Every structure is written in structure tokens, then in C-alpha cells.
A and B are shown apart, each in its own frame.
Chain A
Amino acid sequence: MAGLWVLGEVTPDGTLAHISGEVATLARTLAEAAGQEVAGVVVAADPAAAAAELATFLPRVLAVSEPAAADRPWSMVAAERIAALLEPATAEFMFVGAGPDGRDLAGALAAMRGWGVLANATGAAWDDGSPVAEMSVFGGKLTTTSRFTGQTGIVTVRPNVVSAAPAGKPGSVEAVEAAGGDLSQPAVRVERVVEAGAAAPIEEARVIVAGGRGVGGPDGFKLVEDLAEALGGAVGATRAAVDAGWIPYGQQIGQTGKIVKPQLYLALGISGAIQHKVGMQTAETIVAVNRDPDAPIADFADLVVIGDLFAVGPALLAELRARSG
């Protein structure tokens, strides 16, 4: 019987990363449909909390205590421990989030074990004894389906592919000794800085209000922030707005920024150039406000308001507040 493994990612404060709940939900659903076994693994200095959380989604979770995870790059430490733990592998498929930590972990495991990677899955199915993953490529022009040629592999899963849904009953957590001897990764963490007011991760947001060049400056982003707050969403931006220094790089959406898939993408003063489009076009609903009726975004938004965002934005804010009040 094949095994599906969910590689649980851990946040700086030791809780389970949100993406791992989504990945676990996807893998569990896949395992149920395919009649396969699924389990999770969490590597951390103190894995108890994250492992218990992952066990709300999965029937069985291995909690690996690794003190080095406290002061070394998590993904490289986790990769070494997981590579040793999941050996010898028969038919095993790993699932992990497609964010920074998940990608680092997948790449390291691919090198250590020769496991293939299906990257950035937007869906998964089971066929002929192994998973097949759906991916969006070429800026969303094409949806491809791919599989592994062997009996092992790692699938990285984009955020918001499924909603995290706990299982009917929580699973068991087994404490496991870290295997594999001395760690080879020498990088150490000498400092952890938590920035006041660090924005919520935009990849996970259900609603994103984003500003582009048309927002005009950091003051204009106040309107973007107000609308995001009224809609219970996060703030995003184009590369032009980030390069201009109006908003931090972490909020950038597009080819060299984040790829997002929110329920609603409200684009303010964003023309919709291809480099931005590739990062947001899989949003379920796209609403844009733009002066220019010929802007590319008018071709792929679900609704576009042609007008001045500094007139339409405040009116929209007032209307949202009136309806919620």
C-alpha cells in the first residue's frame, strides 16, 4: 500500500503553519478517495503543539524532536531528519506547502533522495497507484497535469487550493527519535526579528486589496489599507509600487513576488501587465478600479469600474461600512 506523507511546517512561534492544514486536508481527501494511508510528520525543537494541531487533520502524526531546529534554518534541518526517517521508502509520496519553507524542504529532499518534485499544485487526484497534480503554467494560459515516473515524489501545494478542514476525529501523535546522525547544514540563526505591524501573509488571505502605480504614493495606500480592513482582507501591491518604496516587498504580487489565489482580488490603479497578472489571475473574483478603459485588467477582471480610484475608493468604503453597520 502506498503512503502519503504531509510534511508539517512550523511557524516561528511553534504552531503549525496555516498552509499545512490545507495540505493535510488535500492529502487526506486524496488518501480517502484512493484507499491509501496518510500520515503527517513534524520536525521541531518542541514539536508537540504543531503535531497535535496536524493530528486534527490526519489519523497519525510523527513528532520528531530536534533541538537544532531552534537555532538553524528549519527547512534544512527538517529535510535531513525526514530523509532519514522515511527511509527505506516503498511507495511514498510527500505533500508540503509551496511557500518559502516548503520549497526549501522539497528541494533539499529532492537532492538527498532523488525524489521528483511536482511544484505548485493547484489540485491533485489519484491514478494508477500514484498522485497526479494539476498545475497552472505560462501565466495561467495552460493547466497541465503531471505525474511521477517512479514510486516516490514530493508535491508542493499552492495556498488556498482547498480550505483547511479538520478530520471527524483527531489522530494519534507518536513521538519519534530524530534519526540520521549529525546534521550537515552549518548555517545558524543568530537573531530573530519580529517586526511590529508585520502584515498577515498575503498568500493565505481570502480577500486581497492591491494597489499599483495609480495609487500614486504611500498616502494612497492608506485608502488601499482602509478598504482591505473593511473587507477583512490583506494589502497587496504591484512591483511598481514596491520598487517606488510605497509598500514592503513582502506584499508584492506577481512574477517576482507572491502568487495568490484569494476569493476576491480588488485591484486599485493596477493596469494588469502580464508580470502582475501571473500572480493573481486565479483569484475567484477580480474587481478593478481604473481610469483607463483600455488597461489590460479590463480584459480579465470580472467587474471593472472605469473612474478615479480616489473618488470610487472612498465611495466604496462608505458603502461597505454602511452595509456592515
Chain B
Amino acid sequence: MHIVVLVKPVPDTASGGERLGPDGRLDRAAVPAVVNANDEYALEAALKLVEANGGEITIVSMAPAAGTDTMRKALAMGATRGLLVTDDALAGADHVSTIRVLAAALKGLEFDLVFAGADTSDGQGGVVAAGVAVLAGLPYLSYAAKIEPNEESKTVRVRRISPTGYDVLEAPMPALVVCTQALGEPRYPSLKGIMAARSKEIVTRSLADLGVEAGSVGGAVSTTALVGSEAPPPRAATRVVRDTPEVAAKEVVDFLAERRII
């Protein structure tokens, strides 16, 4: 079984240092990059399936050239190899460009399943995976809490979380599955894994390599544009209550009544 996992290097939210550069784009040099947290769940789900059924995992990223550093972290978790799509023309790429490029990257690969995270911590749009499925002509199974591929029938069953429970969806493979945290905690890379990742292959591809016309994607043809940004109004100072539970409870309820919440 061959699983492709879409992995995005994102600024580490724990650093708290994310900011926009003078061009109005995310300043990727300002903070260390990490594997997007939701993509780690997707990778973990892929690792479990490959451990159970045999197979390989290719991680695919679209990122600046330095993205290979972050991809090594995903390789250290156990992925087999990486494919990085990087091109100067991709700076400032919007959702539509990202969808087109990732779909083009998949065209050159053979796989049974593509896994993606539910959204990314930087863009948060949560729209790219559905778009990639459309352009790559793949069945789309999203918000998975359980993934059961059947190699004999070449189908995959997915439990999709719904507002009232879950739906069981079935589709022929190859298919694209959006993974959730309900699939289980991502592992920490072992020392052995980290060592092994150093020599794993990461292939780099430009837009030309993928046969994508440079002028058709990237910041120059973005469908959206930043108009402005400002810090949100600061929250009022925190009121600290250190009374006995009974007195504190009265203060809280009074506070809620003042704000017309109760």
C-alpha cells in the first residue's frame, strides 16, 4: 500500500512570534517552522496502516526551499520519502494555486490513498484538500475518525464525523482522506528515526518540472489580496478573585449578571 501524506511546514504557533512581512505575507523567517499539527495526525494514521498492511509513505509539501528541514521531522516519524514542490513564483500562493500545484504533484505519483490534515494552523482555511480531490479526480472522504482500506476490493471505508454521530463512506481507491485527531496521537520520532531521516530521499520539483505554467499560479495571480491589518482591541484588564468558594461564586454570578449573560 502506498500512501501520500500532504504535509505543510507552518510557523510554530507556540513561539508566539508570527507576523506579516512588509509585503503583507506571512514572514516565514520570523519563527521556526514545524509540521502542521493536523498533518501529524494524518501521518500517524498512515504510519499505522502501513505498519499493519505493509507499504510506503511519501510526504508531499509545497513550501520554500527550507521546507526540507521540516519535512525531515515527518520523515523521522517514519515516512519513506519526501517530495517538495518549491518555486519562487509560488510566494504568496492562494488557495486556488495551492490546490492546483498539489494536484499536479499527485499526477506524477502512484498511490492508493492520499491523506491530508483538517486544516493548517497558519491559513486555517480547511479548503485545500477538497479542491485537490476535485482536480486530481479522487473520491473525497473528509473528517475521518476511522480509515479501513481493503486492498482486495480496492475500496476504502471511512467514518466521517457528523454533527449527530458519524457517516460511513465508501469509495474506490485511490482516494483522498482528510484525517482528524480522533485517529490517534502522533508518535514522537525515535532517535533511530531521526538518524534514518537524514539519509531519506527528498526530491525537489519546480513548477516547470510538474508541467505547471509559471504564470498560472502563485502570488502574481492570487485571487485574494490583503487590504489591511491591525491588532485587535486589547481585552480589558483581568479581574482576579481570591475569596472563599462561596464569596467567589457570588462574585462570578454577579459579574455574569452585569454582563447580561444570565
Residues on A facing B (Cβ under 8 Å): 11-12, 73, 75-76, 79, 98, 100, 103-108, 110-112, 114-120, 132, 136-150, 153, 156, 184-195, 198, 201, 207, 231, 239, 242-243, 248-250, 252, 255-257, 259, 263-264, 273-275, 278, 284-287, 293, 298-308, 311-312, 314-316, 318-320, 323-324
Select A285's contact among B157, B182, B241, B261, beta carbons within 8 Å: B261
Inter-subunit contact A111/B252 (CB<8 Å): no
A–B pairs, 15, beta carbons within 8 Å: A76-B130, A105-B130, A111-B103, A117-B94, A117-B96, A117-B224, A137-B18, A148-B223, A275-B37, A287-B256, A303-B240, A305-B242, A307-B245, A312-B249, A314-B245
Inter-subunit contact A274/B16 (CB<8 Å): yes
| Beyond A120-B124, A192-B165, 6 additional pairs, beta carbon < 8 A | A116-B224, A156-B127, A188-B169, A198-B164, A207-B261, A307-B242
Select A142's contact among B132, B171, B230, beta carbons within 8 Å: B230
B124-145 CB mask vs A (1 if < 8 Å, else 0) is 1111111111110101111101
A78 CB to nearest B CB, Å:
11
Which of B49-57, B61-69, B74-82, B231-239 lies on the face that meets chain A?
B231-239
A282 CB to nearest B CB, Å:
8
Select A194's contact among B164, B232, B235, B242, beta carbons within 8 Å: B164
Q: Nearest CB to that of A288 among chain B residues?
A: B238
Inter-subunit contact A107/B130 (CB<8 Å): yes
Select B249's contact among A104, A187, A195, A316, beta carbons within 8 Å: A316
A233 CB to nearest B CB, Å:
10
Inter-subunit contact B96/A114 (CB<8 Å): yes
Inter-subunit contact B231/A111 (CB<8 Å): no
Inter-subunit contact A148/B182 (CB<8 Å): no
If A147-B224, A302-B239 touch, whether A243 touches B185 (CB-CB below 8 Å) is: yes
Q: Nearest CB to that of A184 among chain B residues?
A: B137
CA–CA, A279 and B172, complex, Å: 35
Inter-subunit contact B95/A119 (CB<8 Å): yes
Q: Chain B residues near A138 (CB, 8 Å)?
A: 13, 18-19
Residues on B facing A (Cβ under 8 Å): 13-14, 16, 18-20, 37-38, 41, 94-96, 99-100, 103, 118-119, 121, 123-135, 137, 139-143, 145, 157, 160-172, 175, 180-182, 185, 222-232, 235-236, 238-242, 245-246, 248-253, 255-257, 259, 261-262
Inter-subunit contact A139/B13 (CB<8 Å): yes
Inter-subunit contact B163/A201 (CB<8 Å): yes
Q: Chain B residues near A274 (CB, 8 Å)?
A: 13-14, 16
Tell me the interface secondary structure of chain B in the complex: mixed
Select A264's contact among B165, B231, B256, beta carbons within 8 Å: B256
CA–CA, A153 and B141, complex, Å: 24
Inter-subunit contact B124/A107 (CB<8 Å): no
Q: Nearest CB to that of A262 among chain B residues?
A: B261
Select A76's contact among B19, B140, B249, B250, beta carbons within 8 Å: B140
Q: Nearest CB to that of A310 among chain B residues?
A: B245
Q: Chain A residues near B255 (CB, 8 Å)?
A: 287, 302-303
If A147-B227, A287-B256 touch, whether A111 touches B163 (CB-CB below 8 Å) is: no
Q: Chain B residues near A190 (CB, 8 Å)?
A: 157, 168-170
Inter-subunit contact B248/A198 (CB<8 Å): no
Inter-subunit contact A263/B238 (CB<8 Å): no
Inter-subunit contact A278/B130 (CB<8 Å): no
CA–CA, A106 and B134, complex, Å: 12
Q: Chain A residues near B143 (CB, 8 Å)?
A: 100
Inter-subunit contact B130/A75 (CB<8 Å): yes
B176 CB to nearest A CB, Å:
10
Q: Chain A residues near B245 (CB, 8 Å)?
A: 307-308, 311-312, 314-315
Interface centre among B16, B123, B224, B241, by most chain A C-beta atoms within 10 angstroms, is: B224
